[in-house]
Amino acid sequence: METQTEKQKRILLVEDDETLRLVYIRLLHQEGYFVDSAITGNEGYEKMAVGGYDLVLLDVLLPGMGGMEILEKLQIQHLPSTPNKTIVFLTNLEKEEHVAQALKYNIAGYMIKSDFTATDFICRVKKYLDKK
């Protein structure tokens, strides 16, 4: 079990694809981030409801409950009391209606998983962490 230092940024990765999840976790650890992860939408919801993450990387399509459903449920229940600072959708969906729907939840943006390399991924994560 990983322990967090005071200076480490806390990242929650909610991703059901095992290969991607393991690659993202490895990349984030190499940059010195504390990484928590969830595989299902329900597990992601529970962790997001507790809150306190500097960045949440949230897949749109998840088993049990999708990313947009998670945000809707958190919004309805006025959770979390300790905010998650920045939420970014991870998706392979490029449809404009999905993007427009996602942005109504006040997310910082989205990353299309098939559009970036490992270096791009880390650069984007750093960009989102630097915003807040």
Q: What tens digit of pLDDT does each residue of 79-103 get?
A: 888 899 999 999 887 666 666 776 7
Q: How confident is the model at residue 109 (pLDDT cuts 50, 70, 90)?
A: confident
Number of domains in the chain: 1
Residue 36 sits in which domain range?
Answer: 10-119
68 in any annotated domain: yes
Average pLDDT over residues 3-15: 84
Per-chain mean pLDDT for the chain: 89
Query: Where would I find the H helices in the chain?
Result: 18-30, 41-50, 67-76, 96-103, 118-131
29 in any annotated domain: yes
73 in any annotated domain: yes
55 in any annotated domain: yes
130 in any annotated domain: no
3 in any annotated domain: no
Q: What burial class does residue 11 get, using C-beta atoms within 10 Å of its C-beta: 0-12 exposed, 13-18 middle, 19+ buried?
A: buried
4 in any annotated domain: no
Task: Kindly report the CATH number assigned to the domain that includes residue 19.
Answer: 3.40.50.2300
Contact 59, 92 (CB under 8 A): no
1 in any annotated domain: no
pTM, two decimals, is: 0.91
Q: Residue 84: what pLDDT? A: 94
